[in-house]
A and B are shown apart, each in its own frame.
Chain A
Amino acid sequence: MSMKLYAVALAAVLPCLAAMPEVDKGKTLGSPSAPITIEVFSDFTCPHCKLLHDQTVPLLMKDYVVQGKVYLVSRDFPLNGPGHQYSREAFSYADAAARIGKYQAVADALYANQAAWAINGKVWDTVAAALSPADQKRVQTLAKDPGVAAEIQRELEEGTAAGVNSTPTLIVSAGIRRYPLPAPISYTFLRSLLDGLLK
């Protein structure tokens, strides 16, 4: 009987464990104990991701993250093809910056100047402008770490396994409930969803 109960409990808990893979703390905002987790699968070269970063994320921060209701996690989802050829390079600097606590500064700079570096390929110039000379050296060294490239690939594979097929995609998790939301994402309805989950 107790084995049966254990199996049932395990079956209920497993989806929760699978819902939140290991993630670099430098790429998160808010409290990990928040009742809702939102994973943002995005690409620094994607214009809709820039819109989400510039318009929706600040609202999410103000209304939910700062208040401890949402834990926001940035996840890498590098795209392929024309217009995205510098995507992985951008992620390698951003993920390296995450390891020294500078992910948000680098992400802000990459999105702010997306139109330029995504075309001319001057990714490092954009990243460097957001860092002190000392941090520049650390990020350049860390970006060459094979672990960074592995992290990008792992997150891409995790996103694909979770059903992500376009960017940006938000995966909203609350307990065992998990909702993948592809773009375009209306903040009005996102707010309705989050408020409903928080009730």
Chain B
Amino acid sequence: MASSNRLARSLLLVLRVALGAVFLYAAWTKLREPWPIFAMAIDAYGVLPERAVMVVARTLPWAELAIGLLLIAGLWRRVATPAASLVLLLFFGLMVRAYAQGKQIDCGCFGLGEAISWRTLLRDGSLLAGSLLLTLVSLRGGRNNA
């Protein structure tokens, strides 16, 4: 019983660190390029006015960076994991919508050059599922889990 608990906690730790690393990588790919590049990727989804696109393009990569660091460090889990889930849920929802509309646009997940496809949907869907699991565990299980 104790060993299976330890295994579950180890797996959750690996999941949290891996998710944190994905957020750090996503932030890095956006911050290394001028912000209008990411703005164009957001704008292609056609859901936000230009002013809002500008704000999101300039702030979201920093939010991803903060979430990634918190997830890896294991700090503020009750804030970091729901925040990660929220970001992933938003991205995934927009990607599914664009894919369903037949839009041939870049997903904007990790910089430019990656068009939305079933592969990107599968990848982001898996990340979302993992993030939701971490959120559930961190909100229900207190500070010792996830």
- Which residues of A does B touch, CB under 8 Å? 163, 165-166, 179-186, 188-190, 192-193, 196-197
Contacts and interface: CB of A to CB of B under 8 A. Distances in A.
Nearest to B112: A180
A192 B105 contact: no
Contacts of B40: 181, 185-186, 189-190, 193
Contacts of A165: 115
Contact of B104 (A166, A179, A192): A166
A44 B95 CA distance: 29
A184 B112 contact: no
Contacts of A184: 43-44, 105
Interface residues of B, number: 17
Interface of B: 33-37, 39-40, 43-44, 50, 53, 104-106, 112-113, 115
Nearest to A191: B36
A182 B34 CA distance: 16
A193 B106 contact: no
A59 to B, nearest CB: 15
Given A184-B105, A196-B34, A166 B43 contact: no
B44 A179 contact: no
B33 A192 contact: no
A91 B50 CA distance: 35
A189 B43 contact: yes
Given A166-B115, A179-B34, A181-B40, 20 more contacts: A165-B115, A166-B104, A179-B33, A179-B37, A180-B112, A181-B37, A182-B112, A183-B44, A185-B40, A188-B50, A189-B36, A189-B40, A189-B43, A189-B50, A190-B36, A192-B35, A193-B36, A193-B37, A193-B40, A197-B34
